[in-house]
Amino acid sequence: MKNKEENLPFLESFTKKEKESIFPLLKEEVFTENQIIFQKGDFGNKMYFIESGKVKIYDTQTGLTSKIVEVFSV
């Protein structure tokens, strides 16, 4: 199990068997700059891990204005 999934901190307490059952479910996605990944109100069926780059979380008020709520970067 020598791969980048092994280094996810939240998996440290998982057993080897638990990790082996989760790893096949993890899929890498690459996003371009300024690409919208999801919007407020979207159904949440994924969990995202940032391997590199920057993600900005915006709160849009009635489509007219938006403000940055959080910035995550690696």
Q: What tens digit of pLDDT does each residue of 39-67 get? A: 888 998 888 888 889 998 888 776 667 77
pLDDT for position 6: 63
Q: Both 70 and 48 in a single domain?
A: yes
Q: Which helix (H) or strand (E) holds 55?
A: strand 54-61
Q: Both 1 and 37 in a single domain?
A: no
- Considering only residues 17 and 72, tell me which one the structure prediction assigns the higher pLDDT: 17
Domain that holds residue 6: 1-28
pLDDT for position 8: 73
Q: Both 39 and 63 in a single domain?
A: yes
Q: Both 47 and 66 in a single domain?
A: yes
**Is this structure's pTM higher than 0.85?**
no
Q: Both 23 and 35 in a single domain?
A: no
Is pLDDT at 29 greater than 50 in this prediction? Answer: yes
Is pLDDT at 31 greater than 90 in this prediction? Answer: yes
CA distance 51 to 74: 7
